[in-house]
Amino acid sequence: MAIIKPMIRSNMCINAHPVGCAKECENQIAWMKAKKAERGIKSVKEGGNGPKLVLVLGCSTGYGLASRISAAFEYGADTIGVSFEKAATEAKGGTPGWYNNEAFDRAAKKEGLYTATFSADAFAHETRAMIIDEIKKNGKKVDLVVYSLASPVRTDPDTKVLYKSVLKPKDKPYAGMGIDIMTDSLKESAAEPATEEEIANTVKVMGGDDWRLWIKALSEAGVLNEGCRTVAYSYIGPKLSHAIYRDGAIGMAKLDLEAAAKDLNKQLADSVGGAAYVSVNKGLVTRSSAVIPIISLYLSVLFKVMKAKGNHEGCIEQMERLFAERLFTGENSAAGKVPVDSENRIRIDDWELQDDVQAEVDKLMDGINNENLKERCDLEGYRHDFLAINGFDIAGVDYDKEVTNMASLD
């Protein structure tokens, strides 16, 4: 029995609130249902032509969870989710993703939707075999595969070698100001350049290798439906962050992901008349972005600018727009023509990178310091998003109430 408060170490929250996580998941589901009604989208049971079975790899938080919520609660799709989580017990807390998965499954079952969630290593061949068995058991073929894995490590399924990714620049050191979440002040952080081995390892973890393996296994098993699409998520961001992100080790992995998308696009077109895309999404607060030099500061300024312009989005709004305005634009929400850029990428970072938005961000970033930080940044919004990932600072949750069972969502 305990009162649970956020435990923050090195700008990372290392615990989670079970009721808060569940409540935030429920809030996103409620928003999605309202958006469905607003758009007039018909679910599968209502005669809609949207996806009937969606597989989400990396389903428990962020964009993966939001994708699953959109598939299920806007389009009425059956969903299968995979993520590697630490389960809660009565006495010990679980990961935020474990609580999110529990809350999603509970809500989906209440709606009469088929849902199957697996806590497993998505990089393992055994997991692929297990998911293929589940798909066959479901009796439907997959219409959409969402690849939203974001792990710092990956064990090669064949060699069993463990690879680790790094958030480092190439060629020369990088330093930038970030936000110290504990003190609401600026803090400089720096990163040394990645070695060639570190870059190669990062590509091995965060690139397109595992995505290729998933589509290959699913295709060979015959569980992809005619017209099946797959989408993986990426980020480009503003020029000021390119040295540490887009042009750094992670950026090299993202280029590999884009190369995989082009190959998979051809493979799926030839085999099932399908397609593969990388969706470039908006910058948002994640467990990793809080510790990347300059990113936390940039995001807090960006949020202020976009909220003032009325076009700020979180994960749930981004994924709803991806599904409704990019992937399922055909008649009665069928898979329609997908608008892409010159590299065949879907861009839902379009509002973030608008010239007027970036010009305003640059203006506020110029000369920013601890004295003017609060007026130039959305510190409150950034802090809320940072805490909400782990179930804290959610409206309607009594954080002074003792939690008697860490495995309960109520």
Catalytic center residues? 245
Q: Name the β-bridge partners of 224.
A: 142
Report the alpha-carbon distance of residue 376 to residue 379 in Å, rounded. 9
Cα–Cα dist 344/119, whole Å: 32
For 96, left (φ over 0), alpha (ψ -120 to 50), or beta?
alpha
**151 C-beta neighbours (distance < 10 Å), count:** 17
Please state the three-class secondary structure of the chain as a single string: CECCCCCEECCEECCCCHHHHHHHHHHHHHHHHHHHHHHCCCCCCCCCCCCCEEEEECCCCHHHHHHHHHHHHCCCCEEEEEECCCCCCCCCCCCHHHHHHHHHHHHHHHCCCCEEEEECCCCCHHHHHHHHHHHHHHCCCEEEEEECCCCCEEECCCCCCEEECCCCCCCCCEEEEEEECCCCEEEEEEECCCCHHHHHHHHHHHCCHHHHHHHHHHHHCCCEEEEEEEEEEECCCCHHHCCCCCCCHHHHHHHHHHHHHHHHHHHHHHHHCCEEEEEECCCCCCCCHHHCCCHHHHHHHHHHHHHHHCCCCCHHHHHHHHHHHHHCCCHHHCCCCCCCCCCCCEECCCCCCCHHHHHHHHHHHCCCCCCCHHHHCCHHHHHHHHHHCCCCCCCCCCCCCCECCCCCCC
Count CB-CB contacts under 10 A for residue 175: 13
Q: What backbone phi and psi angles, to 5 degrees, belong to 83?
A: -160, 155
Contact 5/402 with Cβ under 8 angstroms?
Answer: no
CA distances from 24 to 28, 30, 394 (A): 6, 10, 7
